[in-house]
Structure 1
Amino acid sequence: MPSFSKMLSASSSVLLLFSYAFSTLATPVMQRPSQFSNITGPQGDQRGIYGRNFQPQDIATSTLTHILYSFADCDASSGAVKLTDTYADQEKHYATDSWSESGTNLYGAMKQLYLLKQANRSLKTLLSVGGWTYSQSGHFNFVTNAGARATFISTAITLLEDNGFDGIDIDFEYPSSTDQGNGLASLLSELRSALNAHAASKGDTTPYLVTAAVGAGPVGYNYLNIPQMNSALSFFNLMAYDYAGSWSTVSDDQANVYGGAITGFSTDKALTYYLEHGASASKISMGVPLYGRAFTQTTGIRQPFNGIGSGSFENGIWDYKDLPRPGSTVTEDTNNIASYCYDASSQTLVSYDTPNIAVKKAAYINSKGLAGGMYWELSNDKKGADSLVATVARELGSLDSTLNHLNYPGSKWDNIRSGMGGSPVTTAAPTTTSSTSAPTGAGCSGVSAWSASAVYTAGMQVTYGGYLWTAKWWTQGETPKVQDSYPWTQVRAC
């Protein structure tokens, strides 16, 4: 999901692998250019618990590393972050929830996400703030004000601690000036520093996560301060979809990796821009749509159309689980890495990703050294062998195994503070001694030297500069050094 409706979005390491949502909230690149090994993450929309009847318990967690719970909102003036549906988030009682237990306790989807984390220690959850609608309403106007940014950060961290999240995702679509782009970068940097301090205050050595949804076209990235964002972010979530839709002049691919001669959009073109402007490939998760965009009264791909027809929950948008449409023929373009189904009798074409195309996208992710896959949104996926999330995760290989956070002593909820009644759990790593003094010859026999081309996951060890290093999380091409934002811990001298 990014699907409950709240939305969940997921990532395979993604960062995002589910998003709570009833319906796809994706929007056109023309109007808002498109929202881990490896990570694999979906977005989830809190609204999904309603019309779609997609509950947290329905999430298949084995192929996910991160879940983005969407969307919280923020005040355009003060910057304060707030939840948008406290019933779905914190109050709804599920069948396993008691109405008579003592204390002040968290319920709703957020409790269920915490329980998923307890059962799956490598599953991380992030609270996603913003989204298309709130962004377009000016709710991120505060980013140019340092005081309002501080309020955003303090209220976001309170929500994180209260409700048991592992990080904050910011979905600002999109900065419309250099000042706003720099303001967003400052917000991310300040949030990164504040979360590091928050972790240190609790004795946690596993970093909290900071991620951002970014667009795949000029409207989305023209004003971004990418180098500063790269330093602050755990991941960029590249919204590599919505390249074509109702706003287009012809029916076309909505999530093609290459090509895009008519729309002007392709994932490879967007990725190239980010890499050339300061983003690390290992910090970019590539969006994969779990929905299709429809075109009616058309004779085929890249042909005129007149209308978008009906959809699963919204006109012109079909959940992946409802595709291909009955009576249609599926075409896979392996050159551009795109696919669609077409029904000649109804003259309806739907652009969406098939499992074969998902395999090719996973290969692209691997070939470029990206962080993983991100999906909008989880409730739209199929189950079993045809699941796009599972397909990408399988092709990525080993997934991120970094531990999540379960220790929230500052939560206002009794059951979160107590770890749902168990013993408090720490996410602190075993104590190690770091040193910046000259190597003393302690020996690192059998440990390979660090390689810029190799992929390392949490717990893997290398030697570099006369020291033994342990990877904190997935990394490639990042030189070992002692720095909080870096993926390496210096263990001892060799």
Structure 2
Amino acid sequence: MICWRLLCVLLVLSSIHADPDTVESKVDPIITCYVSTWATYRPVGGKFDFSNVVPSLCSHLVYAFVGINPEDSSIKVLDPWNDLEDNGGKGAFQKYIQLRNVNKKLKVSLAVGGWNEGSANYSVMAASPVRRKTFISSAVKMLREHGFDGLDLDWEYPTKRGGNAADRENFVLLVKELRQAFDNESHSSGRRWLLTSAIGASPDVIRSAYDLRSLSQHLDYLHIMSYDYHGAWEPVAGVNAPLRGQSDEDELSVEKTLELLLSSGAKKEKLLLGLPFYGHTFIASNVNEKPKLGSMTLKEGFSGPFTKEKGFMGYNEICAELERNASYWSISWDERSSTHYAVRDTHLISYDDPKSIERKVRFGMKKNIAGMMVWSLDTDDFLGDCEKTTGYSKFPLLRTINKAVTAALQEREHELAKNKKDHVKKNNSSRYTSLGYFVFIGIMTLLTIF
């Protein structure tokens, strides 16, 4: 009887060491798609509205933009005729929201701010408890009234462009109070609103504008605007969104931005890497020179037929031009930045295409960030004009992101499964070692007894 009881105790003790370590599983990545809603006014071929969206390709849509009233800091609609149904308006708010009927998991948020809104009015709002309260209550009212799933803050940028040093702290107060108001709304309605923010990518903005550790506590996601590192505003031809900089010391790159954000306290599970569906254009200052990256340029690029903005071309404009006039353009690949650039006479375009987009996606996913963000749907090849070049009938860049994210997720899950298997194997080995040890002690004890 003594032997039997002792052996039972030994088996129980050894089983304690056999519990495998738990391995945390990763959440599905996010693909957030901004829509610049003024694209509805572009000419035929570039005109974009809700009917062009493929809802299954995005987990989140962000409707850009609404603004704020400088008088009291309440939220205001910037384009009533396009956004609302009142007075014969187009009702784009509701039409984008109704895309949830096609993709039941789709979330549609409303973005407030943007480059054209500037920073000064947002700085004034964030500095005043009264104005913050007005802004927040008007935001709650607008989301509730129209049925949006959340609010995206696109303040460009705290402490910059007419802001002041106090913006950094005040932005945290604003986000914290918004989160509390949204949580209160959730308790009463049972519906949780998303709270996100677009954040600048330059080291100067990141260090000055954002208390990332605090913001990460209250925001659902931070949308990294990891593009516009270089453009026609500079005197040399550069890359819009280089994966890596011109040298190891160059901080203007996707790689360095992500490193800085993570080292500054941003939570990786809250970060979305921004991917540009456009390129920047340049004109060489020397008319006798065929430009390349680094060439001296005029501070004014050329424009595309739809976006009509000097220094800027949507990917849909770029791929169509390169396909239509292929014999006039020479296309090169810059390995360091992982970017293509095209040259014709004195003109140069630096741009992202499926190859460069895939590299950035895989880079970001290996950092275990939450997912990707795109600016913006309306400049992808949404009509499929470049199918011959891209191999996709519509949305080649967005489909590349979906494909690359899925592949990266599968690799991540495979690695998790492998790690779990290794943990189990290791613990099984430990269990048998422990069992052998306890059996040995038990036998020696029995021999002592008898």
TM range (shorter): 0.7 to 0.9
Does the CA-based 8 Å contact 2:302-2:309 persist in structure 1? no
1:130 corresponds to 2:113: yes
Equivalent residue for 1:46, pick from 19, 37, 59: 37
1:310 corresponds to 2:319: no
Equivalent residue for 2:316, pick from 318, 321, 327: 321
1:172 Cα deviation from its structure 2 partner: 0.8
Q: Cα 1:311–1:279, aligned 2, differ >3 Å: closer, same or farther?
A: same
Whichever residue aligns with residue 278 of structure 1, its letter is G
Structure 2: distance between partners of 1:275 and 1:48: 34
In the superposition, the TM-score normalised over structure 1's length comes to 0.67
Aligned to 2:39, the other structure's residue is in SS state coil
1:398 Cα deviation from its structure 2 partner: 8.3
1:129 Cα deviation from its structure 2 partner: 0.5
Equivalent residue for 1:388, pick from 388, 397, 401: 397
Equivalent residue for 2:259, pick from 266, 272, 283: 272
Structure 1: distance between partners of 2:182 and 2:172: 15
Q: Cα 1:228–1:178, aligned 2, differ >3 Å: closer, same or farther?
A: farther
1:284 aligned residue: 271
1:413 aligned residue: none
2:3 aligned residue: none
Structure 2: distance between partners of 1:140 and 1:289: 27
1:208 Cα deviation from its structure 2 partner: 1.4
Structure 1: distance between partners of 2:189 and 2:269: 28
Whichever residue aligns with residue 395 of structure 1, its letter is A
Does the CA-based 8 Å contact 1:292-1:318 persist in structure 2? yes
2:427 aligned residue: none
What whole-Å deviation, never above 9, does each CA across 1:433-458 have from its counterpart, x for those lacking one? xxxxxxxxxxxxxxxxxx9x959xxx
In the superposition, the TM-score normalised over structure 2's length comes to 0.74
Q: Cα 1:92–1:43, aligned 2, differ >3 Å: closer, same or farther?
A: farther
Does the CA-based 8 Å contact 1:38-1:398 persist in structure 2? no
Tell which deviates more after alignment, 291-300 or 155-164.
291-300
Structure 1: distance between partners of 2:28 and 2:329: 36
1:197 aligned residue: 184
1:46 Cα deviation from its structure 2 partner: 2.3
Aligned to 1:213, the other structure's residue is in SS state strand
1:151 aligned residue: 134
Does the CA-based 8 Å contact 1:39-1:399 persist in structure 2? no
Q: How does 1:328-347 map to 2 (within 5 A)?
A: 328-343=329-344, 346-347=345-346
- Dislocated runs of 4+, deviation >6 Å: none
Does the CA-based 8 Å contact 1:80-1:151 persist in structure 2? yes
1:334 Cα deviation from its structure 2 partner: 3.5
What whole-Å deviation, never above 9, does each CA across 1:353-389 have from its counterpart, x for those lacking one? 0111111111112101112111111110014526111
1:170 aligned residue: 153
Q: Cα 1:399–1:192, aligned 2, differ >3 Å: closer, same or farther?
A: farther
Aligned to 1:397, the other structure's residue is in SS state helix
1:330 Cα deviation from its structure 2 partner: 2.3
Q: Cα 1:92–1:382, aligned 2, differ >3 Å: closer, same or farther?
A: farther
Structure 2: distance between partners of 1:146 and 1:199: 23
Does the CA-based 8 Å contact 1:178-1:224 persist in structure 2? no
Q: Which has the bigger relative contact order, CA under 8 A and spacing at least 6? A: 1
Report the structure, 1 or 2, having the larger strand content. 1
Equivalent residue for 1:235, pick from 201, 215, 221: 221
Whichever residue aligns with residue 267 of structure 1, its letter is V
2:352 aligned residue: 353
2:293 aligned residue: 301
Structure 2: distance between partners of 1:115 and 1:331: 42
Structure 2: distance between partners of 1:300 and 1:390: 30
Does the CA-based 8 Å contact 1:209-1:234 persist in structure 2? yes
Does the CA-based 8 Å contact 2:65-2:78 persist in structure 1? yes
Structure 1: distance between partners of 2:205 and 2:70: 20
Equivalent residue for 2:231, pick from 245, 256, 261: 245
Does the CA-based 8 Å contact 2:304-2:317 persist in structure 1? no
1:399 Cα deviation from its structure 2 partner: 11
The number of residues matched between the two structures is 354
Q: Cα 1:148–1:398, aligned 2, differ >3 Å: closer, same or farther?
A: farther
Does the CA-based 8 Å contact 2:34-2:374 persist in structure 1? yes
Whichever residue aligns with residue 199 of structure 2, its letter is V
1:217 aligned residue: 202
Structure 1: distance between partners of 2:121 and 2:246: 30
Does the CA-based 8 Å contact 1:174-1:219 persist in structure 2? no
Structure 2: distance between partners of 1:216 and 1:351: 18
Does the CA-based 8 Å contact 2:119-2:156 persist in structure 1? yes
Percent identity reads: 27
Report the structure, 1 or 2, having the larger helix content. 2
Structure 2: distance between partners of 1:130 and 1:244: 22
Q: Cα 1:136–1:193, aligned 2, differ >3 Å: closer, same or farther?
A: closer
Aligned to 1:364, the other structure's residue is in SS state helix
1:179 aligned residue: 166
Does the CA-based 8 Å contact 2:119-2:158 persist in structure 1? no
Name stretches of at least 5 consecutive residues in structure 2 with no aligned partner. Answer: 1-26, 285-289, 385-391, 418-450
